[in-house]
Amino acid sequence: MRKPFIMGNWKMFKTTKEAVAFAEEFKKLYQSSDVVAGVCAPFTQLAALKDAFKGTDIKVGAQNMHFEENGAFTGEISADMLNELGIEYCVIGHSERRQYFNETDETVNKKLHTAFKHNIIPILCVGEVLEERDAGKEFDVVKTQTVGALKDLIAEQVSALIIAYEPVWAIGTGRTASPEQANEMCGYIRTVIEELYSDEVSEKVIIQYGGSVKPANASELMNMEEIDGALVGGASLVPADFIEIVNF
């Protein structure tokens, strides 16, 4: 039985002071449940959040990491640096990283290998842009991204993976894929995993939906058969909104 996994993605928002204030408020609202919950925050906030959430089961994740162990990569963060802070999760291949920072399926694959090597659980993002969906290419695009990202990963690694289906046309636009559309694609991704590995592996993979998830639509999305949780953007910045989603 896959436990629902709901992770906030704060993107480039909040100072460390604001992050700690969020944590203190969220802890008052949060009750440990059958849902795994946490936030992926900017690098500068990670240590403070780990400290603020100490004694709870609220998770803290990063939003990116480099695939090299170290080197002359100004501005980048390594897996060892995340390990030192006790970071358990890392978003990899978010559409904004692909769009603005030239992430490719190849670099995403390298990052997945590095994350697993350092016992960091990747949250792999896949999803199509509006033009691809309108052209009827959404399944081909998502399959290509998934297959490329998982190249040379072993079944044990993929079983521990979290995949976030994020239709790019629904991120930050206020437009959300219908529950049926989201469920269909999450189910399709599971089928791709089954084809690449096995039914056993595909049944273990957590597949989230991300794309303008809000308190108003969270329950309907989360109760779809193939959706195992959410990667939440703007609504995760406000404790009262985020707890509503966690408590769907």
Catalytic residue from among 103, 128, 138, 166: 166
- How many domains is the chain built from? 1
Residues 233, 10, 165, 100, CA torsion sign: positive
DSSP string, the chain: -PPPEEEEE--S---HHHHHHHHHHHHHH----SSEEEEE--GGGHHHHHHHTTTS--EEEES---SSSSSS-TT---HHHHHHTT--EEEES-HHHHHHS---HHHHHHHHHHHHHTTPEEEEEE---HHHHHTT-HHHHHHHHHHHHTTT--HHHHHT-EEEE--GGGSSSS----HHHHHHHHHHHHHHHHHHS-HHHHHH-EEEE-SS--HHHHHHHHTSTT--EEEESGGGGSHHHHHHHHT-
Residue 167: CATH number of its domain: 3.20.20.70
Residue among 94, 96, 103, 138 flagged as catalytic: 94
User: Mean pLDDT, the chain, as a whole number?
Assistant: 95
Amino acid 99 reads: Q
* pLDDT cut 90: percent of the chain above it: 91
Nearest to 209 by CA among 126, 95, 86, 153: 126
pLDDT tens, residue by residue, 166-186: 999 887 777 778 999 999 999
Question: What is the residue range of 199's domain?
Answer: 5-246
pLDDT above 70 covers what percent of the chain? 100
Quick one: pLDDT at residue 16? 98
C-alpha 55/C-alpha 38 separation (Å) is 14
- Average pLDDT of the segment spanning 67-88: 97
Q: How far is CA 134 from CA 98, 139, 177, 212, 222, in A?
A: 20, 12, 13, 19, 25
Report d(CA 83, CA 73) in Å as an integer.
Answer: 18
Asked whether the predicted pLDDT for residue 205 surpasses 90, the reply is yes
* pLDDT in the model for residue 34: 86
What pLDDT is attached to residue 174?
72
pLDDT tens profile 27-67: 999 997 789 999 999 999 999 999 999 999 999 999 999 99
How far from 194 is each of 165, 166, 167, 181, 227, CA to CA, in Å?
17, 20, 22, 20, 16
Decide if 156 is catalytic.
Answer: no
Catalytic site residue 66?
no
pLDDT single digits (tens) 191-200: 999 999 999 9
Q: Whole-model pTM?
A: 0.95
Residue linked to tokens 């406000």: 238
